[in-house]
């Protein structure tokens, strides 16, 4: 009997590994992407809808950079991630879980990541980081595992823009109150340039202007992606006095967290910050730099490093947990880090 159970488990595991490969071979990868043009008319049902209870705030728990390698996922590191995420879910009771990239660093690590998050029965929405696809079958394989998970909101998005550019609309009483842009910053391989494609910039404008036009008003919005904007470095250099080791001036009352490593950002001159600012986006949340958790209100846009989840990749003692994004009925968002002892 034990032998039969072992065989069944192995066959199921093999099926989980092979299913995206079969989809790629028999259906074709391009079929999972949408054909998009800026000439299309934006409609409300383009976004993935999640509903807010009018009687309470909408709570989002953000995790980032779990990226466990094969043996780490099966060993003590995997247990520490599980313990951390379980504690965060119990404490925050989120309506939505988001993950700002570098979800896994091996095939088995990815399978475990998807299985454990999906098991909560809570809608969850991940984006790709520069390590998604590393030590795995392929980046498409990772995207397919996310797309096919029962409770995952991941969408492949428009073709030619990477994996996982999609929109989430938080609604209350049928009306959008907050738009979440989920964006791929690429950088997984030498033939995929890091950061935003021109098509992504056009798509971002198309979405946010489309929401405004459809609703007849500016709807609060946030953008989540993996690699930080160059303004994360500019803002920290301007806001933080390294000699006094504190935020100073106008930033003292509005900033929190810290940076314990250099800001590893996209190329200078990237127009994304200016575009988001122009279109009224109030929050940008990223991952990538595991020892940074600063949150700075810069030129009217809050730039937040999500708190690193678990010991994967590299980590600093005490830097473990998640980031809580609380959306109110007027669409505004409050942000705080929630630390978990590891």
First-residue to last-residue Cα distance in the chain: 38
Q: How many helices (H) and strands (E) does the chain have?
A: 8, 14
20 and 91 in one domain? no
173 and 24 in one domain? no
41 and 24 in one domain? no
What is the CATH classification number for the domain harbouring 48?
A: 3.60.21.10
- Answer left, alpha or beta for residue 17, where phi above 0 means left and psi between -120 and 50 means alpha: alpha
Q: What is the pTM of this model?
A: 0.93
pLDDT at 15: 59
187 and 99 in one domain? yes
DSSP string, 67-89: ---HHHHHSHHHHHHHHHHHHHH
319 and 181 in one domain? yes
38 and 5 in one domain? no
62 and 134 in one domain? yes
Q: Tell me: the pLDDT tens digits for 76-126?
A: 999 999 999 999 999 999 999 999 999 998 888 899 999 999 999 999 999
132 and 27 in one domain? no
39 and 168 in one domain? yes
Cross-strand partners of 125: 98
Kindly give the interhelix angle for 2-22 and 107-118, rounded to the nearest 10 degrees. Answer: 100
Confidence of residue 19 (pLDDT cuts 50, 70, 90): confident
Q: How many domains does the chain have?
A: 2
Burial class (CB in 10 A: 0-12, 13-18, 19+), 269: exposed
pLDDT at residue 12 tops 50: no
148 and 13 in one domain? no
41 and 28 in one domain? no
Q: Which domain holds residue 4?
A: 1-32
Sheet with 96-100, strands from edge to edge, namely 124-127, 96-100, 58-63, 321-327, 333-339
pLDDT at 318: 92
269 and 134 in one domain? yes
Q: What percent of the chain has pLDDT over 70?
A: 94
Q: Tell me: the pLDDT tens digits for 235-282?
A: 999 999 988 899 999 999 999 999 999 999 988 889 999 999 999 999
């Amino acid at each position: 009997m034990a032998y039969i159970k072992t065989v069944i488990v192995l066959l199921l595991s093999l099926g989980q590994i092979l299913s995206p490969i079969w989809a790629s071979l028999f259906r074709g990868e391009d079929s999972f992407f949408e054909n998009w043009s800026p000439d299309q008319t934006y409609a409300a049902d383009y976004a993935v809808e999640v509903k807010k209870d009018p009687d309470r705030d909408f709570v989002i728990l953000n995790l980032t950079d779990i990226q466990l390698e094969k043996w780490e996922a099966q060993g003590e590191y995997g247990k520490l991630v599980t313990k951390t995420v379980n504690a965060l879910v119990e404490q925050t009771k989120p309506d939505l879980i988001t993950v700002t990239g570098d979800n896994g660093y091996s095939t088995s690590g990815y399978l475990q990541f998807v299985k454990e998050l999906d098991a909560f029965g809570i809608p969850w929405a991940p984006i790709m980081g520069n390590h998604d696809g590393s030590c795995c079958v392929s980046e498409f394989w990772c995207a397919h595992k996310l797309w096919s998970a029962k409770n995952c909101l991941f969408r492949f998005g428009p073709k030619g823009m990477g994996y996982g550019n999609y929109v989430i609309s938080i609604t209350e009483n049928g009306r959008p109150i907050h738009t979440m842009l989920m964006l791929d910053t690429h950088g997984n391989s030498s033939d995929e340039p890091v950061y935003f494609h021109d098509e992504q910039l056009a798509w971002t404008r198309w979405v946010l202007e489309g929401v405004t036009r459809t609703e007849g008003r500016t709807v609060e919005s946030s953008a989540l992606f993996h690699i930080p904007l160059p303004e994360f470095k500019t803002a920290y250099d301007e806001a933080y006095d390294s000699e006094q080791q504190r935020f100073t001036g106008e930033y003292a009352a509005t900033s929190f967290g810290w940076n314990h490593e250099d800001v590893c950002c996209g190329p200078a001159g990237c127009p994304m910050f200016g575009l988001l600012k122009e279109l009224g986006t109030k929050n940008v949340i990223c991952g990538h730099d595991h020892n940074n958790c600063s949150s700075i209100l810069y030129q009217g846009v809050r730039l937040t490093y999500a708190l690193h989840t678990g010991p994967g990749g590299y980590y600093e003692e005490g830097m473990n947990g998640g980031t809580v994004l609380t959306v109110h009925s007027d669409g505004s968002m409050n942000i705080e880090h929630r630390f978990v002892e590891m």
